[in-house]
Structure 1
Amino acid sequence: MGRFLQDGEEQPRGPQLLSEGPERMVLAGRVVTLDGASTVHRAGFVCIEDETIAAVAGDAAQLPAEFSKMKPIRTQGTIYPGLIELHNHLPYNMLPLWDVPQRYSNRMQWRNDYARYAPEIRWPAKVLGSNPDLDYQRAIARYVECRALFGGTTTAQGLSRRDEFYRGLTRNVEDPDEEGWPVAHGRTDDARPDRIREDILEKLRQGRPFFYHLAEGTDDEARQRFLDLDLGKDGWAIDRNLIAIHCTGLHPADFGQLSAAAGMVWSPLSNFLLYGRTARVEAALKEGVRIALGSDWSPSGSRNLLGELKVARIVDEELGGVFGYEALVRMVTSTPAAMLGWDAFVGSIEKGKRADLLILAGDSDDPYAQLVSAAENQIVAVVVDGRPRLGRRGSMHFSPDQQETVRIGGQPYTLDLAEPSGPTLNGMTLSSAVAKLSYGLANMPELARDYAAETCFLVRLAERGQLPRNLLDAPWGIAMELEPDLGTLRDNCDRASEIDQTLIRRLVLPPLTEVDDPSYRARIRANVNLPAFLRGRL
């Protein structure tokens, strides 16, 4: 498994055995802790023992004895906490940016658009995400998780289901697999007014983080979904477990009530592309609502959090700088950690917390502005649990049987996919995932045509006992959060006729990073709903 190379150390030949006892290393560089005091060590050290930050030192004299004689790894850069994303529909992130056909005022308008949304997003996601060829499902999981990692994300939301597909490179807020860490859950669809108590209030009473898409849109109908949470004499279905996503339909006066929640997740680019407007975050800030940042999904959002930070910065400038660079950086580090109840474990660089880190090249700029302005190829390394999962080639040990080489903005990187338990996703590499998804999207009309026949053929085999009968009524495929029913194999067969094959077209797999997609900004600027101030500064 991957580890950093020391200065001057050559790549070893042959497999490397882990030493007995704790694994220790010292990273040297500018350290932006994001702790409560906003401590920045100009030339600091992060001491790591196994998966934990053992110490943070402002100079070598402060190093603990067990680390003081170790040769530090000179990062030549700036060390931040790993980024935390609390709003992303990850399984859709193998789809290209959507050419939004009009301005919508409510999310149900585009979700019910069977002329454009269904054939360009819903059906391709269904065909690949529940394909009888399981390698499509594995390829989606590998591709979208690497895409998040390549943007510095170490914790992600939007994975939903516990299964082999969602155990890998980044942390999963719905399945942290750690004792004592709150386990998040959520709801994407609107709860009916007569079921707020059952569908929202009861979820909040479970005492764990609950994500809810709230007031997504700009019309009265969108805002009504917020007003539905007012249960009269029983109070509001809003408490410290609620993490509200979008909130674009809220009026300024509504944020006072929302301040009782854990916070809100702001996705400005997706809001602008679909609705021409975003949440009134200046009003949320005034009322003390905690705000995290999320990139939403690839059809109408940023490629990753690094991209979303840039959109948020432009909006902040338009609002007169009500946030500033440090507050924007906290929206992807310490603030989402606190909203999750994970702030004892991640979100800042402090002794005793997990060593989830993002290292950027250079240390000359304002440290917060540096992160907001960073491109993906300025990443030196992304570390999860003390282990470099992505690092510039030459900074990490490389073993061809456990890692692969990728290029990001012309820079060669080592990607470490190895797990102690053995290969995941049936050994699916990133390069194989890219090839699989590229083929599937390019041949979407043919795959859609064959989807019904192949799915129903598996059903017949199971009904005859030639496959296990429990396949018939077990969940099948990757959970697509915008389609509330995952569907069993039998369901998928029954519903396959809903896919209008005459409307399906060929699609292109998007590059994993914005820096490798030279036409991306131009396509964003061409969106019909984008405000002039944003179009002019992107």
Structure 2
Amino acid sequence: MGYKNKPKIEPQVIPGSEHDASVWGELRHLFSGTTSIVGEGYAAGLTRNLDRAYGFGEDLHGSADSMQNFPLDDRAGILRLGDCDYGPNAVTQGATDGLNRYIAHVGEGVSAEALNEFRCLSSRTFDTTARADGSGVSVDIVAPNLVMVQANSLTKEDFDLVASRGAMVVWSPRSNIALYGSTLNVTYLLEIGINVALGTDWLPTGSATMSREAHCGAAAMKLQHNTTIEAKLLWQMMTINAARATGFENQIGSLEVDKLADLAVWSGGDDDDDEELDVYSQAIFSPTESLELVMRGGQIMLASSTLDPILPADECERVFFGAAEKFVCVKRELNTSFAAFQSALQEKYPIVLPPVIIPGVPLNEPSCEPVLG
């Protein structure tokens, strides 16, 4: 059992090696239009891994992000209230200075204990009593290079501080709701100038793709906060806001001159359908089958059958996304055929979201229905 007799959630084990698991995860994102991730794993040549300098690709330059799921060294489930007596290896004052980005899970939950995490990371005076080994004191690391993942326990006053310091937030609504029953009202964060990026969190409680996370974000804002979040804003959270959150907005995150050619193209809808005229909705909410092209640094990774004549036959394989014919061009990166890799995992772990009971919705997807009242 987990905390307070809640079910303990464990990640499923991917057949094969840890590397196979990383490859599977990166392909799942790549084949849904995502070209850069911060995921702690690494598979050469697929998505860009912004927390691994050797995972950037030859054309991206800069310093890797630092990712920390447990900045207070509380992986064992340590909960505190009123002090900072977490693990002995919690982040120390000054340790994050000079980092490109320090991306950390902070204030995850809706309890006072969850908020206590932020108190211990945002004030040097909250707990000044050190333990014998020198640990257990609060620090203040709220700065422009801090990116907080979750942060759903913070108050408006806390977010005012975050905004004044230029720190940022990664919003993962599905994981928030699946674990705690509610999620942030991100409109307030955006109104006060906080850069908010959308993120999928981990698969056991989060979304399989960015599209599924965007579906959840739009639904949750309507259901819990009675607010409509526009598709264009969601798109910005998935692209340029995410690039800012990782510190690479000058090279990726938008289609601009001198930026890298990381792009995804979706097929258009019926011109007579007003909803389809919204290109942001089309890109975010369309099924995987409508993805026409994915490029990373100008290299074709995925293409529709209409591009067959220009694709290198020795590098690209014909596959089907549902009923849609595509070409997958990752032989060199996988050091094997995509078909061979897929066959080892497909029975239990489909790389492309299958058309199941509801098209494009994974079986057993974590809930995105807030607990109201």
TM-score category (smaller protein) = 0.7 to 0.9
Distance 1:521 1:417, change over 3 A: closer
2:341 alignment partner in structure 1:
433
Q: The residue matched to 1:331 in structure 2 has which SS?
A: helix
| Matching of residue 244 in structure 1 with residue 166 in structure 2 | no
2:110 alignment partner in structure 1:
218
Per-residue deviation, residues 500-522 of structure 1 (Å, max 9, x unmatched): xxxxxxxx623223353436467
- The Cα shift of 1:400 comes to 4.9
- The Cα shift of 1:320 comes to 4.2
| Matching of residue 373 in structure 1 with residue 285 in structure 2 | yes
Q: The residue matched to 1:232 in structure 2 has which SS?
A: coil
1:202 alignment partner in structure 2:
94
- The Cα shift of 1:276 comes to 0.9
- The Cα shift of 1:532 comes to 6.6
- The Cα shift of 1:200 comes to 5.2
2:132 alignment partner in structure 1:
none
CA distance in structure 1 between the partners assigned to 2:328 and 2:112 by the alignment: 47
Identity %: 23
One-letter code aligned to 1:109: Y
Q: Superposition RMSD on alpha carbons, in Å?
A: 3.0
Distance 1:340 1:137, change over 3 A: closer
For these two proteins, the number of residue pairs brought into alignment is: 334
Per-residue deviation, residues 361-415 of structure 1 (Å, max 9, x unmatched): 0164112222232211111101111122101123144445322222112111111
Per-residue deviation, residues 275-307 of structure 1 (Å, max 9, x unmatched): 111123233223321110011122222220111
| Matching of residue 292 in structure 1 with residue 131 in structure 2 | no
Q: Contact 1:243 / 1:262 at 8 angstroms: preserved in 2?
A: yes
What TM-score does the superposition give when structure 2 sets the normalisation length? 0.79
CA distance in structure 1 between the partners assigned to 2:155 and 2:174 by the alignment: 19
Unaligned runs of 5+ in 2: 74-83, 127-137, 272-276
Per-residue deviation, residues 449-470 of structure 1 (Å, max 9, x unmatched): xxxxxxxxxxxxxxxxxxxxxx
Q: Contact 1:217 / 1:248 at 8 angstroms: preserved in 2?
A: yes
2:323 alignment partner in structure 1:
410
- The Cα shift of 1:228 comes to 0.6
- The Cα shift of 1:151 comes to 1.2
1:514 alignment partner in structure 2:
353
CA distance in structure 1 between the partners assigned to 2:91 and 2:156 by the alignment: 26
Q: The residue matched to 2:238 in structure 1 has which SS?
A: coil
| Matching of residue 171 in structure 1 with residue 48 in structure 2 | yes
Q: Contact 2:301 / 2:330 at 8 angstroms: preserved in 1?
A: yes
2:184 alignment partner in structure 1:
279
- The Cα shift of 1:150 comes to 1.4
| Matching of residue 109 in structure 1 with residue 3 in structure 2 | yes
Unaligned runs of 5+ in 1: 1-100, 102-107, 129-134, 439-507, 534-538
2:162 alignment partner in structure 1:
258
- The Cα shift of 1:179 comes to 6.2
- The Cα shift of 1:314 comes to 1.6
| Matching of residue 145 in structure 1 with residue 57 in structure 2 | no
What TM-score does the superposition give when structure 1 sets the normalisation length? 0.56
- The Cα shift of 1:341 comes to 2.0
Q: Contact 2:96 / 2:102 at 8 angstroms: preserved in 1?
A: yes
Matches within 5 A, 1:433-452: 433-437=341-345
Q: Indicate the structure (1 or 2) with the bigger Cα radius of gyration.
A: 1
Per-residue deviation, residues 478-532 of structure 1 (Å, max 9, x unmatched): xxxxxxxxxxxxxxxxxxxxxxxxxxxxxx623223353436467448x5x8337
Instruction: Determine which of 210, 219, 223 is the counterpart of 1:305.
Output: 210
CA distance in structure 2 between the partners assigned to 1:329 and 1:201 by the alignment: 35
One-letter code aligned to 1:373: F
CA distance in structure 2 between the partners assigned to 1:150 and 1:280 by the alignment: 30
Q: Contact 1:231 / 1:237 at 8 angstroms: preserved in 2?
A: no
One-letter code aligned to 1:401: D
One-letter code aligned to 1:231: R
Stretch of structure 1 that moved more, 183-192 or 226-235: 226-235
One-letter code aligned to 2:330: L
One-letter code aligned to 1:347: G
